[in-house]
Amino acid sequence: MKKDNLLRQLVNAYKRLQEALEIPLGEPLTLDGTIQRFEFTFELAWKTIRVFLEDQGIICHSPKACLREAFKIGWVDNEESWIVILKARNMTSHVYNEEMAMEIYEAIRNNHHLIQDLIVVLEEY
């Protein structure tokens, strides 16, 4: 089943993101690797939301639209924080300097638990 497979992939990606966040910063590869894992995890999160919403008869085509719908039905409870990580995700393709990379990293560190909360909700669904 597509949604079960996506959810399983999301769980695995989130575990990998957590592993990256446990590594102390110090090497540039740690920062870059964490951002890359976040990017992949976020993509899986919104696409999983999209598939679960389709089961509800709700069609959305963008991360922001899917997050808004998930908020409306109670799957996510902090829309503003999700927008923060959506913005961080959008910035990942424009990382040109370490300052911006650190800004993205801090957004990830401060908000990654939102993905875990989503996983819990979708696993119960």
Tell me which residues are annotated as active site. 89, 94
Q: Given CA atoms 33, 36, 37, 38 in this order, what sign does their dihedral have?
A: positive
Q: 85: closest CA among 38, 120, 28, 49?
A: 38
Q: Helix 113-124 crosses helix 2-22 at what angle (to 10 degrees)?
A: 150
